[in-house]
């Protein structure tokens, strides 16, 4: 995706370098460093997703306490591609939760065998098929929640709601966001060299997208500021 334009006039340019199911790597150019950092902050904290917010435990004879299980359930990633179809609880007219602002997930597992039984996110049943725990593929067993021995039982109900990571980290859609600029250190942000020569300073793979500086040249930092390399994983 390219948004054509020059720095300060037509807006930033985005060139996607790598795109997979759970990762994107792109180059942001013709803009200021503050814009790159703003994108990073928005990705982390202001993109709405769905996450488990309330847990009602009816039966728990496992080795984990109720609070421990509730915390693990809150961090379960839920497919949020249709998050715009849900209302925020604060904007809904219901008293606590309803189908317009929440999704109900239930789990009931009992071990009746003489071997350990794994309880994973695949055991969660959703009231809305659009919002299911994230699975990489059909062979993915899901996130492990707890292990049961013979006679152990777990029965609970979860209420998932729409939110953003500014309220709680469980709503963050990414596991990490990082960006790099000026891989050749043209701006001389790093002045305390522990190595004997600059040649010993390792360059990242992003250096291939920059023009190397002339030897012993201290270039103006304006050109380097216009180009930022961003990578984020979710």
Contacts within 8 Å (CB) and 24+ apart, 219-223: 219/186, 221/182, 221/186, 221/187, 223/186
pTM, rounded to two decimals: 0.75
What is the rounded CA–CA span in Å between residue 187 and residue 207?
Answer: 14
Q: Tens-digit pLDDT profile for the chain (234 aa)?
A: 444 444 455 678 888 988 988 888 888 888 888 888 898 899 999 999 999 999 999 999 999 999 999 999 999 999 999 999 999 999 999 998 999 999 999 999 999 999 999 999 999 999 999 999 999 888 999 999 999 999 999 999 999 999 999 999 999 998 877 777 777 777 666 565 555 666 666 777 777 777 777 765 444 444 444 444 454 444
Contacts of 81 (CB under 8 A, 6+ apart): 130
What is the rounded CA–CA span in Å between residue 189 and residue 128?
Answer: 51
Report pLDDT for 143. 94
Contact 48, 87 (CB under 8 A): no
For residue 164, give the 3-state DSSP assignment. coil
């Amino acid at each position: 995706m390219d948004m054509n334009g020059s720095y300060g006039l037509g807006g930033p340019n985005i060139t996607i370098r790598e795109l997979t199911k759970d990762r994107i790597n792109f180059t942001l150019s013709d803009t200021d460093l503050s814009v790159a950092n703003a994108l990073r902050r928005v990705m982390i904290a202001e993109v709405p997703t769905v996450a488990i917010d309330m847990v009602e435990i009816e039966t728990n004879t496992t080795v984990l306490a109720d609070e421990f299980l509730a915390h693990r359930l809150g961090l379960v990633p839920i497919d949020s591609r249709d998050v715009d179809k849900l209302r925020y609880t604060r904007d809904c007219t219901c008293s606590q939760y309803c189908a317009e602002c929440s999704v109900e997930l239930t789990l009931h597992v009992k071990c009746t065998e003489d071997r350990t039984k794994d309880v994973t996110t695949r055991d969660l049943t959703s009231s809305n098929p659009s919002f299911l725990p994230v699975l990489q593929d059909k062979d993915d067993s899901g996130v492990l929640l707890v292990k049961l021995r013979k006679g152990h039982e777990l029965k609970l109900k979860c209420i998932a709601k729409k939110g953003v990571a500014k309220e709680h980290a469980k709503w963050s859609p990414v596991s990490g966001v990082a960006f790099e600029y000026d891989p050749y250190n043209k701006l001389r942000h790093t002045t305390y060299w522990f190595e004997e020569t600059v040649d010993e300073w390792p360059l990242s793979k992003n250096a291939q997208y920059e023009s190397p500086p002339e030897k012993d040249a201290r270039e103006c930092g304006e050109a380097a500021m216009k180009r930022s390399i961003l990578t984020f994983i979710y």
